[in-house]
């Protein structure tokens, strides 16, 4: 199973994703509440995969994605957003995210998305 870093400014969403991933047998190596924490934790923890919220107060997911891919061009990142803006997902994948999930669909799709990304 994968070692995963969860990044979201919402404690509720971090805990929800954490619970789902633990139930699926994954190891959650850390959780970050903002972009700066995410970049630092990614470098320190070297997770197999990172789930990354797009809308955060200090830096958005695109900036975090760019910085993480600068550290590790092979980083596996699943971008998550509840903005309802379809262009965010398209841009995230163009920038190097492995996949994009809308927040209302996270509960139903996160485990399958991680399995697809880890086995691609």
**pLDDT band, very low/low/confident/very high, at 85 (cuts 50, 70, 90):** confident
Summarised one tens digit per residue, pLDDT across range 31-72 is 999 999 999 999 999 999 999 999 998 899 999 999 999 999
Going along the chain from its start, the domains and CATH numbers come out as: 3-118 (3.40.50.2300)
Residue 21 near residue 4 (C-beta atoms within 8 A):
yes
Interatomic CA distance for residues 24 and 15, integer angstroms:
14
80 closest CA partner among 109, 43, 57:
109
How confident is the model at residue 54, as a pLDDT? 95
Least confidently predicted of 59-63, 75-79, 82-86: 82-86
Distance of CA 66 to the CA centre of its chain: 13
pTM of the model: 0.94
Summarised one tens digit per residue, pLDDT across range 88-120 is 889 999 999 999 998 877 888 899 999 999 998
Would you say residue 86 has pLDDT above 80?
A: no
How confident is the model at residue 83, as a pLDDT? 74
Interatomic CA distance for residues 47 and 104, integer angstroms:
25
Would you say residue 12 has pLDDT above 90?
A: yes
What string of DSSP letters covers 60-106? -HHHHHHHHHHH-TT--EEEEE-S--HHHHHHHHHHT-SEEEEGGGH
């Amino acid at each position: 199973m994968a070692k995963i870093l969860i990044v979201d400014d919402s404690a509720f969403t971090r805990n929800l994703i954490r619970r789902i991933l633990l139930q699926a047998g994954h190891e959650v190596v850390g959780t970050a509440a903002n972009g700066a924490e995410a970049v630092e934790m990614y470098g320190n923890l070297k997770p197999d995969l990172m789930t990354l919220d797009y809308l955060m107060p200090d830096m958005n997911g695109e900036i975090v994605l760019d910085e993480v891919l600068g550290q590790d061009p092979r980083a596996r990142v699943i971008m998550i957003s509840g903005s309802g803006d379809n262009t965010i997902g398209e841009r995230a994948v163009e920038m190097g995210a492995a996949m994009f999930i809308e927040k209302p669909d996270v509960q139903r799709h996160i485990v399958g998305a991680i399995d697809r990304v880890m086995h691609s």
